[in-house]
Amino acid sequence: MPPALTRLPAEDSVSAILDAYDAEGGLIVEGMFDRDVIDDLSRAASEHARAVEPGVADQGMGEDGKFFTGSKTIRFSSLGRITPAYFDLLDNELFATLADAVLLPNCGSYWVNTAQVMFIGPGESAQVLHRDADNWFQHVSPTWPDTPEVTISAMIALDEVTEEVGATRVVPGSHRWPELEVYDFEAETVPAELSPGDALVYSGKVLHGGGANRTTDRWRRAMHLSFVVGWLTPEEANALDYAPGELAGRSPRVQRLLGHRSYDPRPHIGGGLWLRHARPIEDQA
Ligand SMILES: O=C(O)CCC(=O)C(=O)O
Ligand SMILES: [Fe+2]
C-alpha cells in the first residue's frame, strides 16, 4: 500500500496544506468544519435520508448509472433546502482560502459544482476509480497532464468514517500520471479515514472513489462539496434551488457560489460581460 495520506490540523499553515495538496493531489484536514455545523447537517441529512431509497440517484440512467453512484448508496443534493447550516459550510474560511488558491489563477470566480449527501450502505461495493475533473472531459483530455485546475472537492465526515464502512479511496500522486484514462481497478489506493468535521480535500485531477462498505449494518455517513470555475457549468443546477431574492440575507460569497451573481472574469481580462437588463442585476461585491 502507498503511504497514508498526509493529515494536517486545520490550524496548520495554509502553505503546508497546499504543499501536501500539490504533492499528493489531496490530503486530510482535521477539524476543518465546525462541529455544531456538522452536527446540524448530520441530523438534517439523516432525517431526510429516511425518505430516500438507496440507488435512486442513478444519474437518470437506471441500472447503468448505479454503476457509478451505487445501488446501496443514498445520495441527494439541494442541501440548503434541508438546513441553513449548509450556508455556513459554504462560508468556511479555510475551504475558501484553499479554493481561492487553487482555482482563482484560472477564473474570475468559481461556484458550487455539487453538494451531496453520500451515505454508503452496508454491502455496497467499491466505486470505480475516477477523476472528478472528467466531468469536463473536453477541457481535461486535450490538456492532460498539465490541465489547469478547474475543480476542487471535499469529502466531509458527518460521522466516524473508517475503511470498513467505505472511506473514500485515493491514489496519491495520480494527478500527475502521464496517462489520463486509467482503468486499473487494482491501482494502489489508501483510505481517507475521517472523524466528524474532518475533510478529505482533493484535486479534480486525482484518482479516487468511494470505498466498499464491508459491514452488514453500518452506513458511511459523509457528504461531498465541490467547486468549479465560473466558466464551466456545474453538475447541479444549484441556482434553481432558491427563488430570486431568497439568498438576499446570505453572504455575497454564498450568493455567488449558488449562482445568484453574474460571472466577472476580472482580473484576468476586461470587465464583466453582462448588460443591464429590465430586471436589476446585483452590485458586485
Ligand atoms: O463516496 C465517496 O467516497 C466518493 C464519491 C465520489 O468520488 C463521486 O461520486 O464522485
Ligand atoms: Fe469523485
Whole-number Å distance, alpha carbon 131 to ligand 2 midpoint, is: 6
Mutate to test the pocket of ligand 1, among 73, 74, 118 (most ligand atoms within 8 A of CB): 118
pLDDT > 90: percent of the chain: 81
Q: Is the CB of 124 under 6 A from ligand 1?
A: no
Average pLDDT, stretch 192-203?
98
Whole-number Å distance, alpha carbon 25 to ligand 2 midpoint, is: 13
CB 22 within 8 A of CB 14: no
pLDDT at 45 over 50: yes
Q: Are strands 220-229 and 190-191 parallel, antiparallel or unpaired?
A: unpaired
The whole-model pTM stands at: 0.95
The amino acid occupying position 20 is: A
Query: Starting from the edge strand earliest in sequence, which strands make up the sheet with 190-191, in order?
Result: 190-191, 169-170, 208-209
- In the chain, the domains with their CATH numbers are 7-257 (2.60.120.620)
CB 130 within 8 A of CB 153: no
Closest atom of ligand 1 relative to the 120 alpha carbon: 1
Render pLDDT for 95-143 as a digit per residue (tens, 0 to 9).
999 999 999 999 999 999 999 999 999 999 999 999 999 999 999 999 9
The amino acid occupying position 145 is: P
Contacts of 64 (CB under 8 A, 6+ apart): 58
Average pLDDT, stretch 143-165?
98
Q: Is 161 helix (H, G, I), strand (E, B) or coil?
A: strand
CB 8 within 8 A of CB 30: yes
CB 166 within 8 A of CB 124: yes
pLDDT at 73 over 90: yes
Contacts of 193 (CB under 8 A, 6+ apart): 28, 161, 162, 163, 167
Ranking 56-60, 74-78, 92-96, 108-112 by mean pLDDT, the lowest is 56-60
Q: How far apart are CA 169 and CA 37, in angstroms?
A: 25
Which H or E element spans position 18?
Answer: helix 14-24
Q: How far apart are CA 84 and CA 111, in angstroms?
A: 18
Q: What's the pLDDT score for residue 242?
A: 97
Average pLDDT, the chain: 93
The amino acid occupying position 123 is: G
Whole-number Å distance, alpha carbon 283 to ligand 1 midpoint, is: 36
CB 65 within 8 A of CB 55: no
Q: What's the pLDDT score for residue 144?
A: 98
Render pLDDT for 255-281 as a digit per residue (tens, 0 to 9).
999 999 888 888 877 766 665 566 666
Whole-number Å distance, alpha carbon 209 to ligand 1 midpoint, is: 5
Nearest in space to 111 (alpha carbons), one of 261, 242, 249, 272: 261
Proximal ligand: closest to the CA of 73: 1
